[in-house]
């Protein structure tokens, strides 16, 4: 199997990458993957992850619910309720930070199309990019939205998008710097990029360590803290305009983490701990389980 070994930190360029944690793929294979950390800047990455054309089987689990619509089980039920709430808050964020009321919106990793549909209802002209054929068909059937496959990203014309969104997607993409470069190229000068990522300096990450569900190896390749992401954004001539917490993720990630640990009554324990992390986050937002980064082009060259 082709594995991608990283010697150079994609954020700062240092070659001092050292072992940080060993995590298990709880979802599919139970294989162990190492997470390495950059000694210079602190950024962390999954070492020796499967290459893009071979990682498919690692996504092959019914639990990977971002691409499906099952309603069984308490975790899924909560997930679907939380998704509804999250859709509302995502569209509110677009409304608040976009420089226009409507325009061209690109959602990368659009999944089954719920967010695109919400934005279409709000009169945005939407385009989705989604690598799963199943999800693309779903979006077409349910919402009549045509989504493109992955290579479309590199075909989007320069400076044509008012808003580009990536909801928990960038951490899955092999070519981190290439993708960031393309975001910058395709965005209009007054456009906005909105990126949601798990936060490796969250309260829940500190608590669960190698059991933290949002390490999600080998599907999550890159593990950011707010300062890591700020550095990457700056490198690609973006200005970090704002950082917003995603409050619900603490509950979901804590439940999954407890499940991975094999805790008795994992869902209840996870919910309770998620509640504590949520409350602590109210006082320290940058330690939220997931964060939404709002980027604008730094046009002063
Ligand atoms: Zn580094």
**Cα 246 to averaged position of ligand 1 atoms, centre (Å):** 26
**Cα 177 to averaged position of ligand 1 atoms, centre (Å):** 13
Number of domains in the chain: 1
Beta-bridge partners for 37: 18, 44
Burial 183-207 (b: 16+ CB within 10 A, else e): bbebbbeebbbbbbbbbbbbbbbee
76 pLDDT more than 90: no
Question: Could you tell me if 133 and 158 are in contact, meaning their C-beta atoms sit under 8 angstroms apart?
Answer: no
**Cα 29 to averaged position of ligand 1 atoms, centre (Å):** 29
| Alpha carbon distance 167, 291 (integer Å) | 10
**Cα 168 to averaged position of ligand 1 atoms, centre (Å):** 21
In this structure, what CATH number is given to the domain that contains residue 266?
3.40.50.150
pLDDT tens readout for residues 106-142: 999 999 999 999 999 999 999 999 999 999 999 999 9
**Cα 176 to averaged position of ligand 1 atoms, centre (Å):** 13
**Cα 178 to averaged position of ligand 1 atoms, centre (Å):** 17
| Alpha carbon distance 240, 234 (integer Å) | 8
**Cα 240 to averaged position of ligand 1 atoms, centre (Å):** 19
Helix (H, G, I), strand (E, B) or coil at 222: strand
Mean pLDDT of 65-87: 69
Helix (H, G, I), strand (E, B) or coil at 65: helix
Which residues form the domain of 252? Answer: 3-297
Q: What is the pLDDT of residue 4?
A: 96
Taking the alpha carbons of 155, 128, 177, 292 in that order, is the dihedral positive or negative?
positive
| Alpha carbon distance 32, 265 (integer Å) | 25
209 pLDDT more than 50: yes
**Cα 227 to averaged position of ligand 1 atoms, centre (Å):** 11
Least confident of 7-11, 71-75, 104-108, 209-213: 71-75
Least confident of 16-20, 83-87, 214-218: 83-87
| Alpha carbon distance 36, 57 (integer Å) | 23
**Cα 41 to averaged position of ligand 1 atoms, centre (Å):** 4
| Alpha carbon distance 99, 88 (integer Å) | 19
The proportion of the chain whose per-residue pLDDT surpasses 70, expressed as a percent, equals 95
């Amino acid at each position: 199997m082709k594995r991608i070994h990283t010697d150079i930190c994609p954020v700062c360029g240092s070659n001092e990458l050292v072992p940080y944690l060993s995590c298990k793929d709880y979802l599919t294979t139970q294989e162990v993957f190492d997470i390495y950390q950059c000694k210079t800047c602190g950024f962390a990455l999954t070492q020796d992850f499967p290459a893009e054309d071979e990682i498919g089987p690692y996504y092959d689990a019914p639990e990977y619910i971002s691409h499906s619509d099952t309603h069984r089980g308490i975790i899924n039920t909560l997930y679907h309720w939380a998704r509804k709430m999250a859709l509302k808050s995502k569209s509110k964020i677009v409304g608040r930070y976009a420089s226009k009321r409507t325009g061209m919106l690109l959602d990368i990793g659009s999944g089954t199309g719920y967010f695109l549909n919400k934005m279409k209802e709000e009169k945005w002209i939407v385009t989705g990019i989604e690598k799963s054929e199943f999800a693309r068909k779903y979006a077409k059937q349910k919402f009549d939205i045509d989504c493109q496959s992955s290579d479309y990203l590199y075909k989007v014309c320069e400076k044509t998008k008012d808003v580009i969104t990536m909801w928990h997607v960038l951490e899955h993409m092999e070519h981190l710097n290439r993708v960031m470069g393309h975001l910058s190229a395709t965005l209009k000068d007054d456009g906005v990029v909105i990126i949601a990522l798990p936060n490796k300096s969250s309260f829940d990450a500190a608590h669960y360590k190698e059991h933290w569900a949002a390490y999600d190896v080998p599907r999550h390749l890159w593990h950011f803290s707010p300062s890591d992401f700020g550095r990457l954004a700056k490198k690609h001539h973006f200005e970090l305009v704002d950082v917003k917490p995603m409050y619900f993720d603490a509950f979901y990630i804590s439940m999954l983490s407890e499940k991975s640990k094999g805790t008795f009554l994992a869902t209840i324990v996870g919910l309770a701990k998620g509640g504590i992390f949520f409350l602590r986050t109210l006082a320290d937002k940058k330690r939220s389980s997931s964060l939404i980064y709002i980027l604008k082009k730094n046009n002063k060259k």
